[in-house]
Structures are given as C-alpha cells and as structure tokens.
C-alpha cells in the first residue's frame, strides 16, 4: 500500500470506539425485539433531511415524507429533485462497494442527477470551500483528482484500521480532495454510512447526518482543524462523537419505547381505527372521534404520534397551521 493518510489515534478516539461498540450491542438487542419498520423509515427520512439541510435544502421531514410517498408538495424544484435523488441513493447504496471508483461515480450520478452537468465524473476545474464569503479551503487541482482518488480508494480497500476510524479518515480525505464539481459533502456522508453499514448493518438506520446538521459549525471547524494540523484526528474525534450521540439517542428512543409503547399505541390505534380510508378530517372532527375537547392533549397523545409514525398525513404539508388543514390516513 503506497498511500497512507496522515492521522493519529488519540486516547479520545479509542474511548469513543469502545463506547460506540458497547452502545451498538445494546441497540442491536433492542432492535431485534421490536417491530422497528416505521422507526427505520423515520430515521432514513431524518438522515436525508439532515444531509441535505447542511447543503442548504429547506424541506422538512414531513415534506420529504410526502415525496417518499409520491405526494405532491409546493417547494423549489431543485430541492425536490435533491430529495428524490437522495431517496434513490440511500435505497440503492447497499449494492455499492466503497473502494470501487466505478461505484463512487455511479453514486454521484444518482445523487446529483438533474442538478449539475458534471454528474458521475470527477471535476474538470478548480473548486474551493466557502464560509461567510471567504475561501477556507482550496481543493487540489483538477488534474490531480484522479490520482488522489485512486490512492484513497486503494487505501480504503487495503486498510486494516477499525471501520469507525477508516470511514472517518476516508470522509475527511474525500472532503479535502473535493473530487466533484458539486455534491462532495453529501457524497462524503453517504460513503461513510456505506462503509459503516458493511461493518454493521445497524448503521443503515442510524441518522448520523441529522446530528451533523445540528452541529454544522463544529463539523466545518473539525474539517478545518484537521487541515491546519495535517492530521485528521480532530475530524475523526468529531465524527465518532456524532456517531456515539446518534446511537445513544436511538438507544434512548428504543428504551422509552419499551416503557411507553403500549400507552402510545393505544391512543394512536384508537384514533386510526375510527378513521375511514380516503376521508379527510378537520382537527375538530378527529377530536370528536375520540371524544376529546382539549386540543393540546389530543395533539400530544394522538395526532402528533400518528403523524410521526407515518400513519396519518396532513393534506397541506407545507403549511401545518393552515386554516384549510385536514388529515387523512396514509394509504
């Protein structure tokens, strides 16, 4: 192996790997005993929303759900196209091999179709990373990209590092090279998820991107710190912390679900069992079905959980508080 990315394995990295591995064990057991199909779908939606939001996409998880279910929404065509592409990419990504350039280029073509001209190919010109109107990183010249990516993919295929470290290093090096004219951020996050999912399939359903979006400034700071130090350790530490937080949140959700699912399911089941397929209901009409008069209690215990579980949808998803808002069962 000729190319060796510069990185240091710090004590914090080792500690985070141990914590992540312990939490994966807990989550795997919980996942096996629960019917988590709706949770997996919700996490996939959160993953797509988080990764695209980092790039400026403004669509909500509810709007993305509508697109996933083939429902029309009112939004900028470019943002709708980004979501459709991301859905296709995350649905197909398990067939790709992380160390194959052909699969990387195919994934980029799926993810960026209809958004830029240079899809499925490395960039032909220079590119920089901007922050606040300033160039904070000037990527290597386009003429160097094929060689740099070939070296990185060869290293990925031959490296014996732990997949948590390996995937984080790849993510940083990929962003440093910035091999594509556009879509580098979402591709880097997609590819790290792909690498991790081949180590443990539970990562297919862990919405790490959602937490990265919530910590977007720290994400870019970690990238910059690694570039300044010529060592990807700061970025590895940051990404591993995001992975740990995402897994811990999933553990907490599953554990709370164990305690509260019976009560929550009873409320939701009571509501949806009284609704007729194809019929649209106002909020008041839904409250009448379960004989409740307190709006906040109804929304908290019945309506919101049903919407979050993708059992009920709004007829005007773009405007949740619209006076014309109604609700219906999802077919």
Distances (CA, A) of 116 to 179, 181, 207, 282: 14, 8, 26, 42
Parallel, antiparallel, or unpaired: how do β-strands 134-138 and 128-131 relate?
Answer: antiparallel
Sign of CA pseudo-dihedral 324, 301, 27, 21:
positive
- CA–CA distance, 12 with 18 (Å, rounded to integer): 10
Are the C-beta atoms of 20 and 159 separated by less than 8 Å?
no
Rounded distance, CA 219 to CA 215, Å?
A: 6
- Catalytic residue chosen out of the listed positions 108, 162, 171, 178: 178
Q: List phi, psi (to 5°) of 55.
A: -90, 5
**Interatomic CA distance for residues 88 and 83, integer angstroms:** 9
CB 280 within 8 Å of CB 328: yes
Q: Is 15 a known active-site residue?
A: no
- Residue numbers belonging to the annotated binding site for ATP: 129-137, 182-189, 219-220, 228
Run of H or E including 126:
none
Three-state secondary-structure class, residue 114: coil
Which residue has tokens 């991790």? Answer: 196
List phi, psi (to 5°) of 142. -60, -30
**Quick one: how far is CA 154 from the chain centroid?**
26
CA distances to 182, 197, 330 from 94, rounded to whole Å, are: 23, 8, 28
- Report which DSSP code applies to 281: B
The annotation places the binding site at: 129-137, 182-189, 219-220, 228
How many Å separate Cα 230 from the centre of its chain? 28
What's the first-to-final CA gap in the chain, in angstroms? 53
Active site residues: 178
């Amino acid at each position: 192996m000729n190319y060796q990315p510069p990185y240091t394995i710090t004590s914090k990295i080792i500690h985070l790997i141990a914590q992540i591995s312990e939490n994966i064990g807990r989550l795997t057991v919980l996942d096996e005993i629960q019917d988590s199909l709706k949770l997996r779908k919700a996490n996939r939606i959160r993953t797509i929303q988080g990764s695209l939001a980092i790039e400026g996409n403004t669509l909500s998880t509810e709007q993305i759900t509508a697109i996933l279910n083939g429902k029309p929404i009112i939004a900028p065509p470019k943002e709708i196209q980004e979501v459709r592409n991301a859905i296709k990419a995350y649905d197909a990504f398990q067939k790709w091999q992380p160390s194959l350039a052909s699969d990387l280029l195919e994934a980029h073509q799926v993810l960026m179709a209809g958004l830029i001209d240079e899809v499925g190919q490395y960039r032909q010109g220079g590119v920089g990373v901007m922050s606040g109107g300033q160039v904070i990183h000037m990527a290597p010249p386009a003429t160097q990209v094929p060689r740099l990516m070939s070296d990185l993919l060869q290293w990925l295929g031959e490296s014996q590092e732990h997949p948590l470290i390996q995937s984080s290093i790849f993510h940083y090096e990929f962003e440093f090279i910035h091999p594509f004219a556009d879509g580098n951020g979402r591709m880097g996050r997609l590819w790290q998820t792909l690498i991790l999912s081949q180590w443990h399939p539970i990562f297919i359903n862990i919405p790490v991107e959602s937490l990265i979006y919530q910590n977007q400034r720290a994400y870019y700071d970690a990238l910059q710190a690694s570039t300044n130090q010529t060592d990807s350790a700061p970025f590895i530490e940051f990404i591993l912390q995001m992975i740990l937080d995402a897994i811990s949140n999933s553990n907490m959700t599953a554990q709370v679900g164990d305690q509260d699912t019976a009560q929550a399911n009873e409320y939701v089941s009571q509501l949806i069992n009284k609704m007729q397929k194809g019929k649209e209901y106002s909020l008041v009409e839904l409250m009448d079905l379960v004989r409740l008069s307190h709006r906040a209690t109804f929304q908290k215990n019945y309506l919101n959980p049903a919407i979050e579980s993708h059992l009920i949808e709004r007829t005007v998803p773009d405007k949740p508080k619209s006076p014309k808002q109604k609700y219906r069962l999802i077919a």
